[in-house]
Amino acid sequence: MVAMPDGMLALLPRLSGRIDAPGQVPSPGVFVHFLLTYDLAPDYLERRGEFRDAHLALAWEAQERGELILAGAMAEPADKAVLVFDCETAELVQLFAARDPYVLNGLVRAFHVRQWNTVVGDLATNPVRPG
């Protein structure tokens, strides 16, 4: 579980983040994919430099723990970012967003967490093949 500074949980509603389809809870010990999408502020590109190292440190720490698989901003326009997680609960992903310097400093206008039911590929959590 991600350690949270005191009072951080109280910030969650103010961060405009939400877990879409919260009723989908995997069984304990079962890892699934979650997408964390960021709606970026119009001045994201101009302001990110000040917070980028701290944001990247948080992301690489999550990657080293095996939670974050891929992450990056969308290109032209740079109005969204997508982060792919492999973990047990959506709450872990929401806590990541709540600690992200981009979120805390207004570079992210809103974030959304959704379970992603992956069925094709070597990393799919529920592979389904034809016939």
pTM of the model: 0.79
For each successive 10 residues of the chain (131 residues), what is the average pLDDT? 40 46 52 96 97 98 97 96 96 97 98 96 93 93
Q: What is the pLDDT of residues 91-103, one digit of tens each?
A: 999 999 999 999 9
Q: Are 101 and 59 in contact (CB under 8 A)?
A: no
Q: Are 93 and 87 in contact (CB under 8 A)?
A: yes
Give the pLDDT confidence score for residue 12 in this predicted structure.
Answer: 45
Report which residue type is found at 17.
G
Q: What is the pLDDT of residues 12-32, one digit of tens each?
A: 434 445 445 444 555 555 689
Which residue, chain included where needed, has tokens 């992903």? 93
d(CA 91, CA 121): 25
d(CA 89, CA 131): 31
Could you state, in order of their start, the residue ranges of all structural domains in the chain? Answer: 30-116
Q: Are 85 and 36 in contact (CB under 8 A)?
A: yes
Structure letter (DSSP) for residue 12? G
- CATH number for the region 30-116 comes to 3.30.70.1060
**Alpha-carbon dihedral of residues 111, 53, 91, 36, nearest 10 degrees?**
40
